[in-house]
Each structure stands twice: as structure tokens, then as C-alpha cells.
Structure 1
Amino acid sequence: MSRPPTFTPPPGARAYLLRTPRGEFAVIEAGTAVKGTVLLVPGFTGSKEDFMPLHEPLAEAGYRTVAVDGRGQYESPGAVDDEAPYAQAELARDLLAQAETVSDGSPLHVVGHSLGGQISRAAVLLDASPFASLTLMSSGPAQISVGQQQRVKLLRDALAVMDMEQVWDAMQAMEAPEETETGALDEGLDDRADLRRRWLATSPAQLVATGRQLCAEPDRVAELAAVELPKHVLSGERDDTWPIPILDEMAVRLHAHRTVIRDAEHSPNTDQPKATADALIGFLDGISD
């Protein structure tokens, strides 16, 4: 099971609002771009905190890291009732604006987890020129699995009749006592409080709109394969959102570097952060060799 993210920034990291032509986005930044910058894009119900364990090792390897909350995610502002700003094309343009703003002239690499991978793919297909590489972390070629589609539909149905706090309480009541709403082992009240705070700060319209996207995403692998950009498909060794054979096949179709992280599931960044960081560093260093 995926472990919960830590909400404690590593030494030297700073949290701030990134001001872009498309609005402000909450980010956590660390390191100096000796070799380049890595833009980290979180997944569905996630946030920039999901990448917290990756900042230090990437910084030590010479990479500046910028983890971002997308529009309506956690600490980034976003419409509460209007789904239009969360259309995939709009979120992709947000990412391009973030890339433009954080760019310092060094190579800019984008890493997208799950939903963040599909948004990153959409951004690259709109304009690949800002990016030196694309890593799809636990992010598949098309719609999520049937089982996960059913979970997303339950969430959408709940949000239609309940507010975010009521949905949180309902999810907690449905979980086994030792688990959090992420399916992660409970590490204590502080973790649960952090997860609750993130949940309540997230826009319900964002969840409904992006959940619908995950359930209907078309296969755009052929389009992406035609883009001349180094690509990396990284995942845990188990994943019930996009089964591993599907990710393996996608990597072949993309002619992408493939990494499978042992003892990790859908969130290798929190399950096995050291191995995940090592894999990212190996891929990124290999591009510049």
C-alpha cells in the first residue's frame, strides 16, 4: 500500500506562490540548477507534498526541483463550482505557463505522477519546446482501470450531494481502522490531519472534472511517440490504476526508458523515494551524457 506523503519540507526548501501569466500556483522549490530543473506535477487528489522526499536527493545530484499544486489543488487557488478551468487543455496551458516562469535557461525536465502525467503529456503535445525530457510516473496510456473508474464515479456521485468535509468523513468511515483515505498505513494523527487539511482545501470542481478525464482519456501514445523528446516510464511493481503490463507496453510504443521500482505501488515517490530518486537521476544524467 502507498505510504502517505510527508508535509514537512526538507532543509533548504522554500514554499511560495509562483506568479505566472495564468495565475498563481503554490510550489515548493529546492536545490540549484547545476544540471537542470525538474518540474514535479502531482496526481489526482494529490499535491506538491507527494514529492517531498525527492527534493534532497535530486538537489544533491545537481538538480533544482519545483513541485507544484495545480489549479484548484491544495494551496493553489481555483474555481469551486465551475469545471471549465479544469479542462485538460486548460491544465496543460497552466503547466506550460509554470514551465515558462521557472525556466532559468538550464534544461527543464517534467515529471508527472498519474493524472499529472496525462496533463504533462497534453502540455508536451501542445508545445514540447520548453522541455528537455518527460517522465510519466505511474501514468498510463489512456483511461484508468475499471475498478478505479468505479471509485472515481462514487466520488463524483458523493460530491454531487455532500460537501468536502462530509465526503471526507464518509471515506474515513469506509476505510479499515489502520488505513487512511489514500489506502496508506496510518502513521498517526498528524498525518491524518495533514491529509484532511489538503482534502478540504482542494476544489471539488477540480476533482469532478479531472476524475471525469481519467475515466475517458483516449490513447495518445502514437502522438507522443512522434515528439522528439527523451521519455521515461517509471512505476512501482504493482499498480491497480494502470496494470504494469499496460505500462510496459506503453514504454515500448514510446521507445522510452523503463524503470520498475521494487516494493512500490502506485506512488513510488512515497513508497520508495530513494530508489525513485536514483532512477530519475540516472535517467536525467543519461540524457546529458
Structure 2
Amino acid sequence: MSTPRFLDLPPGVTPQKIETPQGTFAALDARPVSGVIERWPALLVPGLTGSKEDFIAVLMTLAQSGRRVVAVDLRGQYETPGPDDPAAYSCPALGADVDALAQVIGGGDPVHLVGHSFGGLVAREAVIDGRTHFASFTLMGSGPAAIEGRRAVNGKKLMEEVREFGLEHVWHHRLEPEALAGDVPDEILAFLRKRLLTNSPTGLTCMAQQVLSMHDRTDELRQIEVPTLVLYGEHDDGWPPEMQAEMAARLEAECMVVPGAVHSPNVEAPETTAAALVRFWNAAEKHYLDTRSNVM
């Protein structure tokens, strides 16, 4: 489980509620502190037990590149409520939410899409379904199919314990001991408890089930003409680094390995991660404009 580096919002970042035809979503909305918005916006999608706060450490740097950057809670996560209907938490349903968010945030402009871990599987659905034209797509610490290794074992236990005992049990017997063993500061510990207990139990178990059973859609994604970046930590313990590198090769995508990072480069190496995203986004925009000018 990843933890934000800090909880105080940096300059230019404000909490927002974003209204879409799919519902209302809690977000952190980052704008440049100085200068103007002159580039296409970006939408950041968190992982299974995460939330928009997992991107706090990169938001200001990303926004200072001259763009609006929005991190959201998915349906049923933290401050975005969700129903008790399991169908609302399928990857296609959540992907439709991402489509709706991108269309509102973009306001007619293409949007750079970033999905972290399970959020990458959800964002991939939005890219493949073809409802939205994305400026670029980044899979961050996310693989081609079901998650593997230690995180797969933990995900299965999490799903079973939430179903049988509830979120309070999972916090006190699993996540709180892990956080205390990692010397997590008290204020972040309190946040992590609040975040977990605010999640939809139905949503959490359905999302966990999908991350444990997802089929490979790499070939389908490859058919979509969108600049793609595969970015992951050197020591990723979710999808093995070699698996993510192979996925990047199959996609003919750019591949970026973040030195020293594990499963959450946005938390563990925020400046390196933000710099890589800004460079990739700027290159994608330049390529689009160059291609368009050649056609004209």
C-alpha cells in the first residue's frame, strides 16, 4: 500500500467536485502557480486502495508545465461515493467514468491520461473503447493482465477479509500493522484509516477481483493510435519489471524505468516521475501538431 509523501496541498492545488453525466467525482485540481495554461490537460487515475492524494507529490510540478492536471477518486473510492451494485465497478463501467471525466476536463481538447496500477487497467478500458480521443496514455506500475507476486497474494486476502469481516477488521488486522511497521507518521496514519473506511466495500472487493483476474488486452490497445508510455519502478513488486518492459515492446511504446522506485513512482520518486511525464506529454503534443501541419 502506497502512502502520500505529504497531505498539505501545494500551491495551485485545490479540492474540487467534478460533475459529469456519469456522476460527481472528487478531485484535486492543479493549475500553474505562475504563467498561464497553454498546454493540454491531464487526468490521473489512482490504484486499487489508493485515491487522488497519491498524486499530491507530483501535481504542482506537472501543473507548472503549463497545464491543468486533475487527480480523481474513482467511483466508490474515498470521497467519490458509489452504489452497492457490483456492476458499477467493472473495468468497462469505471472506464466509462474516465471517458466522462476526460471529456469534461478537456472541454474539447485532447487529454493526457495516466493510470496507476489498477487505475491503469481502468484507464486502458477508456482508451480502447474509443469514446474519447486522448492526447497520450501512460501505464504507471501497471501490467498487461492480472497482478502477480506478493501483491496478488495480498489482494486476494484483502478481498476475502473485506467480504467476511468488513473494512474495520482489515484496517486493524492488516493495514494498520503494515503502516506502523513502516513508521508512517500519525497524521498520514489517520488519513489512511479514514480513506480505507470511506471506501465502498462492494467497490473494493469487485476491483480486487478484477486486478486478480484481468485478461491481457495489449493487442487491442496496440491498435489504438495514441502515444503510449510504460513507466514503472526499478523494483516493482506488482507486475514484474520484465513483464512491463515486454508489454512496452509489444505496444511499441516508450519505456521509462524509475531508479530506486517500487510500485508507486509518483510517491517514491516524484520529481523523476513528474519530469518524465512532462517530457512525454510535450513530445506527444509536438508530434500531434507537426503531423497536423504536414497534413494541412
TM-score band w.r.t. shorter chain: over 0.9
Q: Which has the higher helix share?
A: 2
On the 8 A contact 1:44/1:116 being kept in 2, the answer is yes
Q: Which one of the candidate residues 162, 166, 183 is aligned to 2:165?
A: 162
Higher relative CO (Cα under 8 Å, sequence separation at least 6) belongs to: 1
User: 1:248 corresponds to which residue?
Assistant: 245
User: 1:183 corresponds to which residue?
Assistant: none
Q: Distance in 2 between matches of 1:157 and 1:172?
A: 14
Q: Does the residue aligned with 2:257 lie in a helix, a strand or coil?
A: strand
Q: Distance in 2 between matches of 1:280 and 1:43?
A: 18
Percent identical residues: 42
Structure 1 unaligned segments of length 5 or more: list them.
180-185
Q: Distance in 2 between matches of 1:173 and 1:230?
A: 39
1:34 aligns with 2:38: yes
Q: Distance in 2 between matches of 1:6 and 1:69?
A: 17
On the 8 A contact 1:69/1:76 being kept in 2, the answer is yes
* TM-score (norm: length of structure 2): 0.91
Q: Distance in 1 between matches of 2:55 and 2:282?
A: 19
Q: CA deviation at 1:119?
A: 0.4
Cα separation, partners in 2 of 1:145 and 1:38, compared to 1, 3 Å: same
Q: How many equivalent pairs are there?
A: 282
On the 8 A contact 1:140/1:242 being kept in 2, the answer is yes
On the 8 A contact 2:14/2:30 being kept in 1, the answer is yes
Q: CA deviation at 1:207?
A: 0.9
On the 8 A contact 1:108/1:133 being kept in 2, the answer is yes
User: 2:289 corresponds to which residue?
Assistant: none
Q: Distance in 2 between matches of 1:257 and 1:31?
A: 27
Q: How do 1:1-80 residues align onto structure 2 when only pairs under 5 Å count?
A: 4-31=4-31, 33-79=37-83
Deviations 1:187-216 (A, max 9, x none): 411010011111111111111101010111
Cα RMSD over matched residues?
1.6
Q: Distance in 2 between matches of 1:172 and 1:19?
A: 32
Q: Does the residue aligned with 1:275 lie in a helix, a strand or coil?
A: helix
* TM-score (norm: length of structure 1): 0.93
Matched residue type, 2:99: L
Cα separation, partners in 2 of 1:160 and 1:187, compared to 1, 3 Å: closer
Q: CA deviation at 1:15?
A: 0.8
On the 8 A contact 1:35/1:107 being kept in 2, the answer is no
Structure 2 unaligned segments of length 5 or more: list them.
287-296
Q: Does the residue aligned with 1:40 lie in a helix, a strand or coil?
A: strand
User: 1:89 corresponds to which residue?
Assistant: 92
Q: Distance in 2 between matches of 1:173 and 1:35?
A: 41
Matched residue type, 1:10: P
On the 8 A contact 2:40/2:106 being kept in 1, the answer is no
Deviations 1:133-160 (A, max 9, x none): 1000000000010432221121111112
1:178 aligns with 2:153: no
User: 2:217 corresponds to which residue?
Assistant: 220
